[in-house]
Amino acid sequence: MAVLVTGGTGYIGSHTVVELLELDYKVVIVDDLSNSDDKVLDRIANISGKTPRFYRVDLKDKQALRKIFQENNVEAVIHFAGYKAVGESVSNPLKYYENNILSSINLIQVMNEFNVFNLVFSSSATVYGMNNPSPLKEEYPTNEANNPYGYTKIVIENLLNDISNTDSRWHIIIFRYFNPIGAHQSGLIGEDPKGIPNNLMPYITQVAVGKREKLSVFGDDYETTDGTGVRDYIHVVDLSKGHVRGIQKINQMPGLHTYNLGTGSGVSVLELVNAFEKANNLVINYQICSRRAGDVAINYADVSKVKRELNWETEKELIEMCRDSWNWQKQNPNGY
């Protein structure tokens, strides 16, 4: 089986490609490199001993996408590609609606042309919005989001649901994942955000490596154990293995199935900082700031469904996530 991975040179995509290659899947990567680096390809080859076929293509270019399907015997697709910076989506919503939704429509149309009906879609816990209580369950309503990025995920999920309801040939798995952190244990691939990090862990590691002066902690007056926001942090390798499990199971699962990918427990901002300091014998300089608009106090997954139906659960503990994050950053202080 050849698996097409869109966004395969990105943070989660590259780790998933490694896991697929180590299980002897043939992998084809399509990525426009707008938020990643082609050096990732050499790193993947270094880790796995295999070089996936790579196409530098924007999914909005339908003809170029067709050529990929013409040249490869694709049997399943994992769709990671998409813009994902929440702040940028607020300031430039049209860019996000055009790219994320049009790219997905093109991909689905071309898959249909080439009779490829196995799709794993990378969604996000942002689809749950602010009003659903944690632990978040897959059956909760997802008709509102805090930002345009989240709305693009809702639109694509709805599109996939409509397709599944009207064409029984499709096998679709939607993974709503929570807060991926960590890196491959080799330190060769990891999270390399462009500009100011949007996520907590790369901000912590950039402070630790001296790239940034201090970490800003937004709010210490939430109704949590220490007043800081609580999130579900999952090791990126565990997350990647979840997507591989989806590929392994998808042929047995007609219709559409939605799963959370998380640990099922919450960790506060300061608990994560403390764990990082303990794991790596470092001190992180931080300051408490006012809350950010749109942040919820507590956000973590109910993972009972994915355990039950896909027999998947996380393996890596928080300390390992912190060690691997720092191992990546200290080996690559300026990213790729």
Question: Which active-site residues does the annotation give?
Answer: 149
In sequence order, what DSSP letters do the residues of 271-334 get, joined into one string? HHHHHHHHHHT----EEEEPPPTT--SEE-B--HHHHHHH-------HHHHHHHHHHHHHH-TT
- Closest by Cα among 313, 300, 298, 309 to 258: 309
Residue pair 174/160 in contact (Cβ under 8 Å)? The answer is yes
d(CA 125, CA 140): 11
For residue 136, give the DSSP letter.
B
- Closest by Cα among 62, 55, 147 to 96: 147
- Cβ–Cβ contacts within 10 Å for residue 55, how many? 18
- Closest by Cα among 142, 176, 140, 136 to 158: 142
